[in-house]
Amino acid sequence: MGEMLLVIDEGTTSTRAMLFAPDGTVLGSHSAELEQHYPGPGLVEHDAAEIWEKTLGCARRMVEQAGGPDRIAAIGITNQRETLVFWDKVSGEPLAPAIVWQDRRSAALCRTLKEQGEEPGVQARTGLLLDPYFSGTKIAWAMENWSQLREAGDRLALGTIESWLVWKLTGGLHVTDATNASRTLLMGLGSGGWSDGLVDMFGAPRDALPEIVDCAGTFGTTTLFGGEIPICGLAGDQQAATIGQACLKKGETKSTYGTGAFILTNAGTTPPTSKHRLLATCLWQLGGRRTYALEGSVFVAGSLIQWLRDSVKLVETAQETEAIARSVDDNGGVYLVPALSGLGAPWWQPEARAAITGLSFSTGRAHIVRAALEAMAHQSHDLKQAFAADGADWAMLRVDGGMVTNDWIAQDLADMLDLPVERPEFAETTALGAAMLAGVGCGWFAGLEEAATMRGEIRTFEPRVDGAVRDARLSGWKSAIERALP
């Protein structure tokens, strides 16, 4: 058996391949940017062929760096969730653009189903709400609007990104892991299988759906790198990050601040129920047994800084935002509600639009940039209140993702949430979680608890802001978000 794990971490804006040693040390990494396409307001697409080609290229670089396929014990895959790919089972080529998780094109369908009273039943079966975010509504829209999918008949395959990558790596194995399946609106959360009623509701062709499998095991092999390498770990990115943060006990919580922000609390082995518009989801499935999580999903986090940089030109690099935020004493009364693709939890308002409030002649560039960074803590506080109301309050928050390499944001989270915030020295916990699962799947580790030794050193940020300052900021945020709601 090889002495390294190869992880494919396929995200929204980039794809990368990484090599891990058994102790969690990263031995190599190579990434490539992915182009996002915006064909209209609220529409976000990817080219699935580009995702495959760039992912394959990154993986090949790492196999070469490892010294060949014999040096690699297993592959782990983690992916942007809910993004949907349609392809031809015969040619293996995409039949349509991939519809990205941020896409809002099925908002009208969701509104209609809500008006018909379908949401409570959907939530009871899936743990999810009716929102364009989830894959099922994307399937319904695509099957109605893209004739090539209907014309493909039994040649049509569909699945989330890990399903697409496994198909391409193995030459035709059609599977999806339970964490990704639990984000489709098609899987019964308690049963772990496709629900006939939900499949019919969203018009999903049953023969086009993949088989639901565990998160660790042997899911076929690939021979594309000059030898056989087994695929042994699969999980959606937020579940993988929760595993990588070693949130293995009920009540332990992590938040990832990447393109969006996603907070998951380990809910144990019984499917949780939220009365405050959080999501219930599968955290992992091993040996056919599922562990669950409560989740709060924020659609815009790091993509807000990208927007400030690329669209409105307020910053030249993401890295400079920390110094800009520190250059002023406070936000000057400015609040930025980052509803650039609607609002996620706990509001679930797909038609909400972003807003900047509190502008005056004294407002400068630094106030707006600082308000953008502060929005991360503000949105997280909204979610903390919802988790607490559902009986799952946080004692500590473990954070990761590209945004919290910024010390100012990490400290601001601790201040506004009024609790300790832990940040691992190795921030790529999504890839680490996939490596842990692959290590379990190939037999390196007996279970996730043993695999958690791969997690490294941490730094803790303690709250230090005055309570009156905290209350004043949160009051201003509450007013700002009320104005942004439709």
Mean pLDDT of the 33-46 span: 92
Q: Look at residue 463 in the predicted model and tell me its pLDDT.
A: 96
Average pLDDT, the chain: 93
**What predicted TM-score, i.e. pTM, was given to this entire model?**
0.87
Q: Look at residue 303 in the predicted model and tell me its pLDDT.
A: 87
User: Are the beta carbons of 379 and 298 closer than 8 angstroms?
Assistant: yes
Token duo for residue 476: 């201003």
Model confidence pLDDT, tens digit, residues 343-366:
877 888 877 888 999 999 999 999
Q: Which residues pair with 400 in a beta bridge?
A: 256
User: Are the beta carbons of 36 and 100 closer than 8 angstroms?
Assistant: yes
Q: Look at residue 443 in the predicted model and tell me its pLDDT.
A: 94
Q: Look at residue 135 in the predicted model and tell me its pLDDT.
A: 95
pLDDT at 246 over 90: yes
Q: Look at residue 402 in the predicted model and tell me its pLDDT.
A: 80
Q: Look at residue 427 in the predicted model and tell me its pLDDT.
A: 78
pLDDT at 29 over 80: yes
**What helix, strand, coil percent values describe the chain, rounded to 5?**
40, 25, 40
Structure-derived torsion over alpha carbons of residues 144, 150, 151, 152, reported in degrees to the nearest 10: 140
> What domains does the chain contain, in order, with CATH numbers?
4-237 (3.30.420.40), 248-424+456-486 (3.30.420.40)
Mean pLDDT of the 80-109 span: 95
Q: How confident is the model at residue 13 (pLDDT cuts 50, 70, 90)?
A: confident
Q: Which residues pair with 74 in a beta bridge?
A: 5
Q: Look at residue 406 in the predicted model and tell me its pLDDT.
A: 87
Q: Quickly count: other Cβ atoms within 10 Å of residue 154's Cβ.
A: 10
Model confidence pLDDT, tens digit, residues 154-179:
999 999 999 999 999 999 999 999 99
Mean pLDDT of the 42-68 span: 96
User: CB under 8 Å to 121, separation ≥6 — which residues?
Assistant: none
